[in-house]
Each structure stands twice: as structure tokens, then as C-alpha cells.
Amino acid sequence: MKTTRLVVLAAAVAALAVTVAAGASAARKVSSCPNGQVNFGVEPYDTGAKFTAAYQSLTKILSENLGCPVKLVVTSNYTAEVEAMRAKKLDVAEFGPLGYIFAHQLAKAQPVAVFATKDKKPVTYTAAIWVPTNSTITSVAGLKGHTLALSDPASTSGNLLPLYAMEKAGLNPTKDVSIKYAGGHPQSLLALTNGQVDAAEVNSQQQATATAAGQFDTTKFKVLWRSDPLPNDPITVRGDLPAAFQAAVKAALLKMTPTQLTLVDTELGVDSGPMIAATDSMFKTIRDVVSIEHLKISQIG
């Protein structure tokens, strides 16, 4: 009888040890997260329920992989996201390429992951200026004296590169073209399809999602100019956070499967692939344009 009691006691002690170890492991995970919660920011490059649902799905998976609550924060505009990370209100954030350049400079944003294709190559997209098929405008230089809808002053494809293209064509964008900032890529497309402007920026991501939704008939419009492929949005971590946390976020993102990323990939207009590691060097081209243009964040928002 005494032996039996000792066996039961030993088993209970072992079970308690396992419970304590599990609890300690969970506690370590939660304590590794800033203030017990991660604030994940994303700029409003699209609108609507599908956009929100896609990033709610992403943050839910990140929360599970990371082992602590993750709160989704959709900022009011692109610049607001940079400022939110600079004010330490965001711990992790997905930025457009131009937003990333400023976030890296001003908020110490460190790139940890980018979306990839099925063969694990970084996803790219293109900026473009579109006009109706019956438009008399046949070149970027021909935009002189016409109205042009652009997305947001802090957008790479929706402002920076179209402005650069106009300057290379010999135009002074602020004097030669009547620019209308629509407030986002969907709004810029609508300004074009509703006949409110003569031309508009519609990047390849917005083209893909709007076409799939039956909102953009490409047979009725033509491309006036298209950029070279651009690096897609990096997901970043604020650089003043502990290195162990930054590494944990990176691992949690790279662990996500293509199936788990389907909703976000659909928003980005690409086939579902995994995430791969990001580096600052991926965005050198954008940084070079910012340098050539002597662009400051105060000029874009």
C-alpha cells in the first residue's frame, strides 16, 4: 500500500512539473510581447470588408504563432502609419515601399518579411497611368493641361513614381498637370471609370482586384505608362524593441503557410505563396528615387 501511495505521489509531482513548465513557457511567450500585446499596423491601400477581413486573418495567425494578442490597426492614411510607429503606438507594421523608407529612417522600422510567389520569389507590382481607350492623350508628356487622379501623397505607385515619370517626360507636375489626390487606389480608379478625370493611376494590384470584382473593364481603358516592377510591401518590426522579439515576429511570419495567406494575397492581387525574409537592400531603388527627388515626409502628408 505504501509503495502504491509513493507511485501515485510521484505521478502527481511529475504532472505538476509538466503543468508548471507549460505555464512558464506560456508566460515567457506573453512576456516577450510589448506590454502583453502587439499592435500591428497596415496602411489603407484598399477599402471594404474583404480588406479588413484579410488582415484580421493575418493578425489572428500571427497571434497564434507568436503566443500573445495581436491588435489590428488600420491607419487613416499612409503617413499616419509612419507617425504611429515613430510614436511607438505600433510594434509591427506593413508599409508600402515609400512608407517603409520613411519608417526605416524615422521610426527604426526593420524589414523582416515580404510576400512571395509560389516559387519563393519576392512579389512585385507595377505603377501605371491609365486613360480611356478613346483618349487623345498618347504619352506622359501629353498629360500637360489635363487632370490626373493620384492615390495618396505617400504612395509609391500612386504618387512618387507617376510624379517621377512626369518629370522625366519634361513636365512640371505641380504646374503642367491638374493633380487630384483621390485618397486611395480604389478612389483613383473610380475617378477614372466615372469620367471625373482625364487620366488616373491604377497599379497592378488594384487592377487585379478591381477586375476580379467586375469593377474595372480593361477593354475600355489603355495604359499610358507603366513602371518597372516594384518590391512589394515589407512587414516590419520597430527597431527599438528587443532583438528576441524581432526574431520571434520574423519566425512567426515565415511560419505562415500559403493557404493561411490566401486572403491577403488576394488583396495584393497575387497567387498565394509563403512569406520570405526581407532585407533593406530590396528597397534601394525606391530610396534612390526619394533621394533624387529630395523628398521629405513633410511633403507627402
pLDDT, tens digit, 9 for 90 and up, residues 184-208: 999 999 999 999 999 999 999 899 8
Backbone angles phi, psi at 43, to 5 degrees: -80, 150
> Among residues 112, 125, 117, which one has the least CA distance to residue 247?
112
Q: Which structural domains are found in the chain, ordered by start?
A: 34-122+231-299 (3.40.190.10), 127-227 (3.40.190.10)
Cell numbers 526581407: residue: 278
The sheet carrying 147-150 orders its strands as 178-181, 147-150, 199-201, 128-132, 221-226
Longest dimension (CA), the chain: 99
Please give the model's pTM, rounded to 2 decimal places.
Answer: 0.78
Q: What digits encode the pLDDT tens for the residues 27-75?
A: 344 446 888 899 999 998 888 888 999 999 999 999 999 999 999 999 9
C-alpha cell at 56: 484580421
